[in-house]
Amino acid sequence: MQNELKIALLQSDLFWENPEQNRVHFTKKFEDISDAVDLIVLPEMFTSGFTMNPEKVAETMYGETVVWMQEIALKKQTAIVGSTVISENGCFYNRLLFVHPNGIIETYDKKHTFTLAGEDKVYTAGQSKLLVTYKGWKICPLICYDLRFPVWARNVEDYDVLIYVANWPKVRVAAWVALLKARAIENMSYCVGVNRVGVDGNGHEYSGHTAVYDVFGHQLDTIQENQEAIEIITLSKSHIKTYREKLNFLNDKDVFTLE
């Protein structure tokens, strides 16, 4: 078990519906990470932006983006997580990929598709949470709109880190900030949210507010809004263990069944 987990947060602009250009863009970003890190976190749909035109950008699980992520993970000996558009069995998915340093991939398909943008009409929703065990840490990675649904994120698995990758617009960023903090507090876990910046092809503006919160809801990062940035944060397993044992809040959680 590893007591510390060093993560790199990539708050970045995205090239609209252009996977190749985004891969080149992030390859350069990765070169700027000189420290050895355990995990790199990218935004939601990092190869395209939040597009409702999946046929323009979709790849398969054997496509260039998946292979590229595996190559980068192997080269840098780090895990990488982010979501991209995947075509499979005649359906399109907003799929999160957690790529381990050895190339093994674990996936999560976004459960709560964003109906306000019509995501539910073009993407197939997932049905299962993903719990990743990595270097002795239990990680629950989710996607953007999932943040508004606390029951889906409820820590019944005793995970250590909750991660949200997102394209969360500036106009509603106050909700992003408040909900990330709430998820950390109620689940007594670290909560990591990586959001994009810039303006997408539909004219929606994104201000970032990428953040990391500890079990008390204290913000650990110093990333500024409205700009591209890379920040490395070290999480401590001792922090989680100490305060879960001292406060025991999770022992009083409700028992429920999702339908």
Spot the catalytic one: 59, 106, 129, 144: 144
Q: Provide the residue-wise pLDDT of the chain in tens; the chain has 259 residues.
A: 799 999 999 999 999 999 999 999 999 999 999 999 999 999 999 999 999 999 999 999 999 999 999 999 999 999 999 999 999 999 999 999 999 999 999 999 999 999 999 999 999 999 999 999 999 999 999 999 999 999 999 999 999 999 999 999 999 999 999 999 999 999 999 999 999 999 999 999 999 999 999 999 999 999 999 999 999 999 999 999 999 999 999 999 888 888 8
**Residue ranges of domains in the chain, CATH in brackets:** 4-252 (3.60.110.10)
Spot the catalytic one: 17, 106, 110, 186: 110
228 carries an active-site annotation = no
Q: Are strands 205-207 and 197-199 parallel, antiparallel or unpaired?
A: antiparallel
Spot the catalytic one: 17, 44, 106, 119: 44
144 carries an active-site annotation = yes
Rounded CA-CA distance 230/11 in Å is 6
- Tell me, yes or no, if the pTM score tops 0.95: yes
**Nearest 10 degrees: CA dihedral of 72, 77, 82, 84?**
30
